[in-house]
Amino acid sequence: MKFWLTLSLFLRISWAVAQTTIYQPFEADSAAEPRGGIPFFNTFLQTNLRKPTAAEAKGEGGRVIVSGIVETDGRLTDVKLGKTFRPDCDHEALRVFKLFNAWKPALKGGRPVRQQVTMPITFKPNTPFIYENGTRTDYFDANNKPLPDSSRARYKQVSPIDSIGIPTGDAVVYKASKNSWKEEFRLPLVRKENGFRGKSGKTGYLIGYQNAISQLDGQLISVDDRGALLRQAYFKDGKRVGAELIYYSNGLVAEKIEEFDATTIINSWYMNGQIKQVRTVAKFKPQQVGSPEQVNAYWDSTGHQQIVAGMGRVTYSTRVRSSSDTTQFKLFLEEGAYQNGYKQGVWTGHYEDGSYFYEEQYEKGICQTGKASTMGGAMTHYTVVQQPPEFIGGMQALGQFLSQNLQYPPDAVRARVQGKVFISFVINAEGAVENVRVLKGIGYGADEEALRVVKKTNGHWKPGVQRGRKVNTNYNLPINFNMP
């Protein structure tokens, strides 16, 4: 009996030692690795890195070596700096590396053990620019094409920005005039409420230039009540360029949206940094029926890849407002199969509280038939999952309504201001217009006029329909102001 007690105690001590021992990769039977693999880990790093402005201005590229301990539960601890590059980049490399807590732990003797990992983080070189005293200066030719210096420049733009490139003041565009620069126009930096309320109960802000649509370069940023990034996008000549990033509250990128000529590719991550999904959305022209969304890959929260090369069966779990009590959020479970990236066969979905259920039949991503019901409600049947709100008479009628009712503000006429005002509003289940606000404006009275005209469309809309039921729908509408 004493022998067995001693053996049991020895085994416990051995396991406790194993739990505190930090192994090197070559000492483990199976080394620790990022869930999703190294390629997606590198994508995570490059997506989340914010190259410091001072380093970006010099165009420098380099590599930082960082290390940490992968714990038995997949978290990363004791993050340290190894090889350095420059202090600001070193600090940024540590910040991003600490965000990734989705490791597959090392195994030894069939049990998870702690292991040290060492990783390189690369800052890519870029085209340098002039940055002095918190201000960036860019030069352009007569056609607004970027130039490396002022020798052939017709215009220059001076933009105050902070250490990670966020605008901090008005941007001023100058025009070359003999041997000096003459101010051509100024782009005031404005902050508008974005409707997102943080933990403090206060709203966040959209930060951008007053006339970002017509400026040489424009950045639109959304922050919460603490000033933390929520969304970031770049615009040129009124069009988004590069990737749009959507952030979690911890500073980690939740979604990266990249537009190409024919498609939009969307990568999304879990809050611990693990890759979640890669999907493709085909672009289509107005009045053309869009192609269904393609899901190329999907991982569940444990790192198990359920969709591989567009094939597999998946269970989605999201938190949404309950149909029975809109003040409560409930778990919404959806399950079905993908074939060649498209939904195929029977798909079902239900709230965990039983307040809502649907079942749909798909063929190559297109819903053939569907039925849905709410608790205590009648079953609805449909063939179209979602129908967006529609202006009565169609888009042509909407265009006519706007042209007949829109008045060019006198201040905008005097300043010869042109551009687009982006308006966001809700079309409720009865077709009424609610919660009208400016997403992105141009000032000089144009924002107020756009709000007035959109509010006047009240009563002219058919509500959106989801799975056979009329629903409240968010709608974004650009209002054009063009000088005659």
Q: How confident is the model at residue 216 (pLDDT cuts 50, 70, 90)?
A: very low
Helix, strand, or coil here: 136? strand
Backbone Cα Rg of the chain: 27
Instruction: Read off the tokens for 94.
Output: 């540590």
Which residue, 426, 433, 429, 416, is CA-closest to 464?
429
Residue 316 to residue 268: CA distance in whole angstroms: 14
User: Which pLDDT value is given to residue 214?
Assistant: 41
Q: Higher pLDDT residue, 237 or 335?
A: 335
| pLDDT(7) > 60 | no
Residue 138 to residue 100: CA distance in whole angstroms: 35
CA angle 251, 255, 261 (to 5 degrees): 140
| Residue-wise pLDDT tens digits, 169-203 | 999 999 998 889 999 988 888 777 776 666 666 67
Q: Higher pLDDT residue, 236 or 462?
A: 462
Instruction: Read off the tokens for 225.
Output: 């009540």
pLDDT (mean) for 15-35: 85
Which residue, 438, 452, 446, is CA-closest to 419?
446
Residue 125 to residue 386: CA distance in whole angstroms: 45
Q: How confident is the model at residue 415 (pLDDT cuts 50, 70, 90)?
A: confident
Residue 432 to residue 459: CA distance in whole angstroms: 6
What region does 468 belong to: left with phi over 0, alpha with psi -120 to 50, or beta? left
Q: Which are the contacts of 10, defined by CB distance < 8 A and separation ≥ 6?
A: none
Residue 413 to residue 401: CA distance in whole angstroms: 21
Instruction: Kindly state the helix (H) or strand (E) to which residue 96 belongs, with its residue range.
Output: helix 87-99
**Could you give the percent of the chain with pLDDT greater than 70?**
89
Helix, strand, or coil here: 147? strand
User: Which pLDDT value is given to residue 292?
Assistant: 85
Say how many residues make up the chain: 484
All structural domains of the chain: 21-123 (3.30.2420), 311-383 (no CATH), 390-481 (3.30.1150)
Provide the 8-state DSSP code for 200: T
Which residue, 209, 196, 204, is CA-closest to 223?
204
Instruction: Read off the tokens for 293.
Output: 């969304």
| Residue-wise pLDDT tens digits, 268-277 | 999 999 999 9
| pLDDT(213) > 50 | no
| pLDDT(452) > 50 | yes
Taking residue 455's Cβ as centre, other Cβ atoms within 10 Å add up to 13
Which residue, 481, 484, 354, 335, is CA-closest to 421?
481
pLDDT (mean) for 37-65: 96
Residue 275 to residue 320: CA distance in whole angstroms: 22
| pLDDT(140) > 80 | yes
Widest Cα–Cα separation across the chain: 101
**CA 29 vs CA 117, 119, 363, 454: distances in Å:** 15, 20, 45, 64
Residue 227 to residue 205: CA distance in whole angstroms: 8
pLDDT (mean) for 82-107: 97
CA angle 255, 34, 279 (to 5 degrees): 30
Considering the entire predicted model, what is its pTM? 0.80
Rounded to the nearest angstrom, the gap between the alpha carbon of residue 126 and the centroid of all alpha carbons in its chain is 23
